[in-house]
C-alpha cells in the first residue's frame, strides 16, 4: 500500500509525529494536524517532504464536531483525498478523582472521545462518498485497566475501544476497516508530566521488556494496520506495552 493520503491528528509531537513520519516513509502523503505549536508541526512536515512525500499542515482542536469536520475537509482539500485517518489527538491532565471538576471531565471527553468519534464520522462520510475502502485507527491506551489520577482519561480510552468495535461493524459494509492501538508507557511528553527522568527509568525497568516504548514502535504497528497486509483485520484492539498489561 503506497501513494495513499493519511490524516494524523495531534501530530505536532510524540506518537502522532512518529506516525506522520512513518506513513511518509511507507510511501504516503500526510496531513499533519496540530494545535498550538506550528514550529513543531512544520518540523514534522519538513521530514515528510524530505522523504519525498507531500505534507499539509492542518491546524485545529478536535474538541467539537464542527472543528473535526473542518480539519478533515482541510486535509482532503490539501491532499486531494483521504484514505487513512489516525485519531491520535488526546489529553491526559492528571487530577485526583475527589477533586475532579465537571469542566475537567468534559474537556477530556470532548477531545479524546468525541473528537475521535466525529473525526471518524467526517472521514468515513468522505470515504463512503468516494467509494474508498479506507482505514481508521483510534488511539486507546493501557489505561483501559484504570488510572488513579485519570478517571476521566480511562473513561475516554475505554470509550475508544467501544466506538472502535461499533464503527467497525457500521462501516464494514463499505469496506472501511476500523482498529484501535493501545500503547503502554511510551517515551513522550505525556508520561513526563509529573514524573522525573529517574522515575520514568524505573517505571520502564519494571516492565517485562525492561524499558519504555518508543513512539516509532507504536507508529510501526499503525502503518501495518493501515496496510493491505492487515486487510482482514477490523474491530480489534492491539495492545503494545512491553508486556506491562496482558488483557
Which residues are marked as active site?
153
Alpha carbon 187 to chain centroid, angstroms: 15
The answer to whether the Cα torsion of 202, 184, 158, 89 is positive or negative is positive
Cell of 223: 502503518
45 class by beta-carbon count within 10 Å (0-12 exposed, 13-18 middle, 19+ buried): buried
The Cα 43–Cα 223 span in angstroms is 21
Phi (first) and psi of residue 52, to 5 degrees: 85, 15
Residue 141: which of 120, 158, 117, 118 has the closest Cα? 158
- Secondary structure of 196-229 as H, E, C letters: CHHHHHHHHHCCCCCCCECHHHHHHHHHHHHCHH
| Cβ pair 122, 45 in contact under 8 A | no
Q: What single-letter DSSP state applies at residue 64?
A: S
| Cβ pair 113, 90 in contact under 8 A | no
Strand, helix or coil at 33?
strand
Strand, helix or coil at 84?
strand
Amino acid at each position: 500500500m503506497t501513494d495513499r493520503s493519511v490524516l494524523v491528528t495531534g501530530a505536532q509531537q510524540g506518537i502522532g509525529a512518529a506516525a506522520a513520519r512513518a506513513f511518509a516513509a511507507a510511501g504516503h502523503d500526510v496531513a499533519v494536524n496540530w494545535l498550538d505549536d506550528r514550529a513543531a508541526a512544520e518540523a514534522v512536515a519538513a521530514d515528510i517532504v524530505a522523504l519525498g512525500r507531500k505534507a499539509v499542515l492542518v491546524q485545529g482542536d478536535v474538541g467539537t464536531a464542527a472543528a473535526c469536520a473542518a480539519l478533515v475537509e482541510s486535509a482532503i482539500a490539501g491532499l486531494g483525498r483521504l484514505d487513512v485517518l489516525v485519531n491520535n489527538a488526546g489529553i491526559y491532565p492528571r487530577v485526583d478523582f475527589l477533586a475532579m471538576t465537571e469542566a475537567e471531565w468534559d474537556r477530556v471527553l470532548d477531545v479524546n472521545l468525541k473528537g475521535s468519534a466525529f473525526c471518524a464520522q467526517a472521514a468515513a462520510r468522505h470515504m463512503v462518498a468516494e467509494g474508498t475502502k479506507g482505514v481508521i485507527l483510534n488511539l486507546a491506551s493501557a489505561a483501559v485497566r484504570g488510572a488513579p489520577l485519570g478517571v476521566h482519561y480511562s473513561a475516554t480510552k475505554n470509550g475508544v475501544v467501544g466506538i472502535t468495535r461499533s464503527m467497525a461493524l457500521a462501516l464494514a459494509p463499505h469496506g472501511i476497516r476500523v482498529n484501535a492501538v493501545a500503547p503502554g508507557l511510551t517515551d513522550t511528553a505525556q508520561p513526563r508530566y509529573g514524573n522525573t527522568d529517574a522515575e520514568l527509568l524505573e517505571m520502564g525497568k519494571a516492565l517485562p521488556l525492561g524499558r519504555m516504548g518508543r513512539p516509532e514502535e507504536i507508529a510501526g504497528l499503525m502503518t501495518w494496520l493501515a496496510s493491505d497486509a492487515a486487510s482482514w483485520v477490523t474491530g480489534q484492539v492491539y495492545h503494545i506495552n512491553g508486556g506491562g498489561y496482558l488483557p
